[in-house]
Amino acid sequence: MKKSDLIKLGFKETSYIEEEIHFTEFTLETESFVIQVSGIDDVEIKIDDNWIDVPNCKTINQLKQLIKLFS
Secondary structure E strands in the chain? 12-13, 16-18, 21-23, 25-29, 34-38, 42-47, 50-53
pLDDT given for residue 49 in this prediction: 93
Please state, as a whole number, how many other Cβ atoms lie within 10 Å of the Cβ of residue 45: 19
Q: Which of 50, 25, 21 is nearest to 37 (CA)?
A: 25
Range of the domain at 23: 3-70
Query: pLDDT tens, 4-56?
Result: 999 999 999 999 999 999 999 999 999 999 999 998 889 999 999 999 999 99
Q: What is the pTM for the complete model shown?
A: 0.91
Per the structure, the count of domains in the chain is 1
The 10s digit of each residue's pLDDT in 58-69 is 999 999 999 999
